[in-house]
Amino acid sequence: MNFDQLGLADSLLRAVRGEGYETATPIQQQAIPPVLAGRDLMGCAQTGTGKTAAFALPTLHRLSTIAGPAPSNQSAAPPMRHTKGRGRDSFSRAERRPIRSLILAPTRELAAQIGESFKTYGQFTGLRYAVVFGGVGQGPQVKALQNGVDILVATPGRLIDLMEQGHINLRNVEILILDEADQMLDMGFIVPLRRIVAAVPKQRQTLMFSATMPPEIRKLASEWLREPVHVQIVPVATPAELVEHSVFHVEQQNKPQLLVHYLQTTAQTRTLVFARTKHGADKVVKHLERAGIRAAALHGNKSQSVRQRTLDAFKSNRPPVLVATDIAARGLDVDGVSHVINYELPDVAEVYVHRIGRTGRAGATGIATSFCGRHERDQLRQIERLTRCSINVEQEHPEYKREAASDHRPTGGRRPQRRPGGGNVGSGEPRSSGGGRAKSSRPVKKATYATVAVGGSGQVTRRRRRPGGAKKRAL
């Protein structure tokens, strides 16, 4: 379906054309018409599906075509931009131009990304936006707010701070959007969220997006949304979009060596490694650097400017291996992530789906590999339960032989089988490069691998087994 069939204003169609979008994605086709009609919406979809445009475009349309509290100001408004404070009468400007749409996002990076999308899609509307998040000085954000904005993108913590200081008034919000609602709950934002929603008029349009639908989200949706339209996007995986998924069973203390070996012997373009803790992520980076592998950490203890620089480096043509906590599991829209490595399995199975969704985006192929320690087998089983995929052990890894067969209980039931010919790059299995093991590696015990196929946006769709142990694709 083309965008011009959706009933969007010309100013938005112009921006969409400028972005080179030809057809609306499924979530855009399903969400834009009801949101334009003023309906509430509950969207179950992940990033990478075009979800931001699905809520930003109809929001911009409504704000630019329905008169707000200060219509005279809007007609004279300069083009969409990030506002900067401009002097003495800024308070009255903010009063004349109140916030009409509030978008809440769990992380600073996602908030910034959403702000960029509003800037792009709204460039010809004359509407103004601002983004507020923690980790940076509040001065410029306060100035922007005082100047008056139509659209505010915020993380919950900084928003509450600024509300408490009297810098933000949500009395005129017409459209409230909660993006990645499940992650906001996982991050403990429920109390701030309740306070924020209580500060927004009851008479409003509410859009809520969540990658998963646990009972808490359903409950909040029933409280905050009114007769919502439900849109669920289950990504359809075609063979070209599949992500190869593998797991190594490995002793915890051998994970650093396995990681070094894996990275040194696997062809990758952009690799994201997930660690459980900030400290753990820093340790992994140090270990990789000692082994001569360029690496950088991304987690909440880093200042926002360092986080931004690290992300920019990761997006560059010579990316370091990025070792991140779950701050990076969702929302980040980085093209060309060839490998995601779960150095530690997440406690919450849903997080696993988000992590591996960082690869295999936009139709590209990807490899998702997990290092499963003895103490993480329960988590692996929970992941299998959630994804309804049993991870069958296909063979022992040639490099890291299992020692005690009784120790590994294959979660999928099939006994490990040895496949002749050794491993291949695309399998997530270290390839023997000139027969050499990583310089720093000592043997890692009990490593086996298994494969399932995962849909393009992280949604596990079906298990794929290569008949006869056929070679997997190398990236």
Residues that bind ligand AMP (CB under 6 A): 21, 24-25, 28, 47-53, 333
Looking at beta carbons only, is 47 or 206 nearer to ligand AMP? Answer: 47
Nearest approach in angstroms of CB 330 to ligand AMP is 10
Task: Give the residue from 280, 237, 234, 226 showing the smallest Cα distance to 256.
Answer: 280
Kindly state the smallest distance separating residue 423's Cβ from ligand AMP, in Å. Answer: 33
Determine the straight-line distance between the first and last CA of the chain, rounded to whole angstroms: 32
Nearer to ligand AMP, 136 or 334 (CB): 334
DSSP-derived pairing of the beta strands 101-104 and 175-178: parallel
Residue 452 near residue 243 (C-beta atoms within 8 A) = no
Strand 393-396 to strand 448-454: parallel, antiparallel, or no bridges (unpaired)? antiparallel
- Phi/psi of residue 361, each to 5°? -90, 155
Nearer to ligand AMP, 47 or 459 (CB): 47
183 or 370: CB nearest ligand AMP: 183
Give the β-pairing of 41-44 and 229-232. parallel
Neighbours of 390 (CB within 10 A): 16
Question: What DSSP line would sit under 285-315, residue for residue?
Answer: HHHHHHTT--EEEESTTS-HHHHHHHHHHHH
Kindly state the smallest distance separating residue 421's Cβ from ligand AMP, in Å: 38
Q: Which residue type is seen at 102?
A: L
Q: How far is the CB of 28 from ligand AMP (least distance, A)?
A: 6
- Indicate left, alpha or beta for 388 from its phi (over 0: left) and psi (-120 to 50: alpha): left
CB of 54: closest distance to ligand AMP in angstroms? 7
3-state secondary structure of 131: strand
Q: Whole-angstrom Cα distance, residue 310 to residue 93?
A: 37
Residue 185's alpha-carbon distances to 174, 213, 233, 367, in angstroms, are: 23, 11, 21, 28
C-beta separation of 105 from 331 below 8 A? yes
Smallest separation, CB 235 to ligand AMP (Å): 11
Give 28 or 411: the residue with its C-beta nearer to ligand AMP.
Answer: 28
Distance CA 368, CA 201 (A): 44
Q: Which is nearer to ligand AMP, 33 or 469 (CB)?
A: 33
Whose Cβ is closer to ligand AMP: residue 8's or residue 291's?
8
Pairing mode, strands 321-324 and 205-210: unpaired
CA distances from 311 to 87, 137, 169, 343 (A): 34, 20, 32, 19
* Closer by beta carbon to ligand AMP, 49 or else 264: 49
Q: Closest distance between ligand AMP and the C-beta of residue 1, in Å? A: 10
| Token couple for 302 | 């880093």
Minimum Å gap between C-beta 88 and ligand AMP is 39
At its nearest, how many Å lie between ligand AMP and the CB of residue 56? 8
Give whichever of 28 and 310 is closer to ligand AMP, judged by the CB atom: 28
DSSP 8-state class, residue 443: P
Q: Which residue's CB is nearer to ligand AMP, number 118 or number 343?
A: 118
- Shortest Å distance, C-beta 22 to ligand AMP: 6
